[in-house]
Chain A
Amino acid sequence: MQRLDAKPDMLNQAQLLFVDDEPLMLQSLSLLFSDAYIVHTAQSGAQGLEILKRHTIDVIVSDQRMPQMSGIDFLRCAKEISPNSIRILMTGYADLQAIVDSVNVGEIFRYVYKPWNAEKLKETVRFACMVAQQRRAITATKPTSTIPTLQQAEVTSEFELLFVDSNPRHLEQFKELFEPKYKTHVSTQASEAFDLIPRHKIAVVVADAMLEGIEGTDFLIAVKEKYPNISTILLTNSQDAKQAIRMINEGQVYRYLVKPFPRESLRLAIEAAVLHFKVASQYPVEHTKTMESFFKSPASASSSIEELLKHLRKKVGAGMTY
């Protein structure tokens, strides 16, 4: 596994917040990180939010199942109080609804299982800290107000969408829903879609989980690998928690929509994704995946989706994922 070349002095400053209702868990986690970080712990979401108000936290690691306030609810509030903090969700059990919410509501960076692999967790936290500190450095030089929020942003038709679905009828419906506001490209073939991206100004790629010859998950992960700024949305009707976690941890999927969903959900997701793309293009650090590809070995220069996937599979085989 490739090590990140982090400046030690930078990381020495880093502050972590662990939230778990189990005190023994907090004790254990804080000792794991106490050598290199300033560690804060909270036994509930409410306590965690108090700490966020008083300290500059780089990385938040929260348990999902907690009484009173769930991990996702806590992370959603945390995002408002401390938008620059990187959010990691930890759980003993992958409940699909929680995973989907963690993407769509908590916009989390990673999803970590209990019990965890200590080395990988350390690596993830270290990397997340760097992203957080970079992000903070940039927002410090630019007033936050210049980063458009969803309400302020004027989404113009300069952004284009790409839908990939093996069912042409679905594609027609998508086109109908978003044109003329956005120029909408459609394709039933993943490889065709992949070649289409560099030729247009694609902001958002939406793919169905079931594509011909390739998993929608793989396709979106490949897209993200090659074009880190693009926001990706996965449409799926499967109840597969594993797939969802892979989409978060490897694909940094922006939204995960479980079919059937109301049209409005897709519309809102697209609007937010376009904005996300816009911000990511202007301020690359706003986009964690962008940072990740910056720090890690660049995705091979290979341009075809097949080669890219081969590269990704090698990564998976090397145990670089959860």
Chain B
Amino acid sequence: MIDYKKIKKSLKRALKSIEQMELLEELMKTQQTGQWPAHLSPRLLASEFSIATQQFLQQLQLPVPSESKSPAPPPDNNEPPPMSYEEWLKKLQMRQGGQPATPIAPSTAPTAISSGAGVDEAIRQSEARLRTIIDATPLGICITNANYIFEYVNKAYADIYGYHPSEMLGKPFTMIVEPEKADFWRDLHDKYLAGYKEIRGEWTTVHKSGKKLTILADAARIVGADGKPKKVTFVMDITELTRLREEARINEIQMMQTEKMSSLGQMVAGLAHEMNTPLGFVKNNIEMLEAKNKEVKELMGMYEKLRSQIMYGSPNDVAMLLSQIDSFSQKVKNRVWQESDTLFRSAIEGIDRIQDLILSLRNFSRLDEADFKPTDINENIEATLKIANHMFKGGIQVIKEFSPLPMVQAYPAQMNQVFLNLITNAVHAVDERTGKIIIRTMQQGDSVVIKVIDNGKGIPPENLKKIFDPFFTTKPVGQGTGLGLSIAYKIIERHGGKIEVQSQVGQGTEFTVTLPISSSAQLSAAKQSASVPFTDSPFIE
């Protein structure tokens, strides 16, 4: 799961440091009217980026005497001819110990830095400082020209890919992409320089060792002194970050699975008992009636025999058989026979009860329905209450205060999981005998509001803010995963709604779930964030 808030925060921080960087550039421009592009505004980010920007800031806050001495170029005629961007680049590379980039076009700018040693010194210092900053940042920076050649790479950029800067300079940038995608990348590069493609996003590139890297990239178009467009790319290696994120996502799935299994286990326990009790007496009744049926058949056989005895037998035989029949029918007419009607009736009632339970189980699980659909929240709560019914056995009073509700776009099975969790929590909070749980639904504007109110023991304030945290539980080990509410929170959040709690120790607790009636927009956004972003390149087109 990506923490967008955190990213936003560090993005702001990054922007600030970038603004400072721009300031520095401005300073440079006052000293050398080169063509450092004014529109260069890298925006780049990942949660780790804040650390890098901190370093930036620290560096930038160092006192810089040469700049403060001469904020503007001296007005006299000693002013040196402006240094072109290319010259600046060359200098930078030379100091880096790398090869000078192959110039794409002959430099048109004058190269002489003839006079003004002090100014030259200032430039040198300021350049050195910029270079230090650029090299100190973990942000990889490279400049590529229209021929796909690296004209500049900083140390971090080379480090990301496992090369020395000198190994990269002057080479085509396709050395760091998957060979089979080289054409795609060249095309992208062309289009970017032509101004109609975005680069920002996550990409897969290749390390020197052949290992695949996931990078976060942003780019800017600049115009070189040769008047040709070039691309400045800012890169951050987020391979590890991506792995961690994926791990976290899998953990979350497993967590949800654990909770589901745990609540399912409790449900099965309750339901098994609810079903096995009627099953017990239904089976027993039928077995008793079956035995009785056999006896009645036997008795019928005896009457058949009696009939032939009357026709052909002696009066003595008839009398004997009659007395046999009498004593046997005494045995047949025991209490089971007397109450056979009731036994049948009870058996049918038991079967009805089992059928009802199975139906409510099906309603609850919603396995036979499409995932995301217009959902009747009242109906869902009803189904959940049926499943939870066994928990109220001790005398807990459940009061339903349902108002007519419009259909809500939702995952019914997930909604049921939330309701079951809130109801279960309420049951655990209240006294077995005097407990009262109110379930209230209502429409408020374009939202549906569901309240689960109990008169239980309440939640102390110090726990109240932790109840939605994963693994927070006050139940003994093994009796609760501590995940129920955190998952309920996630589910409601995913539906674009919110879940709130109010509690007073000794008085009770009130959970309020607010769901937007049409949450499809939020949901699809949430859906995107739940799945892995950027598996390919969603930012193209």
Contact = CB atoms under 8 A, between A and B. Distances in A.
B5 interface: no
A180 interface: no
Contact of B281 (A21, A24, A35, A95): A24
B334 A92 contact: no
B276 A24 contact: no
A93 B269 contact: yes
Interface string B451-479: 00000000000000000000000000000
B272 interface: yes
Interface of A: 20-22, 24-25, 27-29, 31-32, 34-35, 63, 65-68, 91-93, 95, 113-116, 118
* Range of interface residues on B (Cβ < 8 Å): 20 to 34
B283 interface: yes
A28 B284 contact: yes
B523 interface: no
Given A28-B343, A31-B343, A92-B272, A114 B285 contact: no
Nearest to B350: A24
B34 interface: no
Contact of A24 (B273, B349, B394, B395): B349
Contacts, number: 87
A65 B390 CA distance: 10
Interface in B122-155: none
A29 B281 contact: yes
B279 interface: yes
A27 B276 contact: no
A31 B281 CA distance: 11
A28 to B, nearest CB: 4
9 contacts: A21-B393, A27-B281, A31-B339, A34-B335, A65-B273, A67-B394, A67-B432, A68-B394, A92-B276
B348 to A, nearest CB: 11
Contacts of B275: 92
B346 A24 contact: yes
A27 B278 CA distance: 12
B346 A27 contact: yes
Contacts of A118: 284, 287-288
Contacts of B432: 67-68
A32 B284 contact: yes
A192 B275 CA distance: 46
B279 A115 contact: yes
Contact of B433 (A34, A68, A93): A68
Given A34-B336, A68-B395, A92-B280, 15 more contacts: A25-B277, A28-B280, A28-B284, A28-B285, A63-B277, A65-B273, A65-B393, A68-B394, A91-B276, A92-B275, A93-B273, A113-B276, A114-B276, A115-B279, A116-B284
Contacts of B524: none
A9 B270 CA distance: 42
Contacts of A66: 393
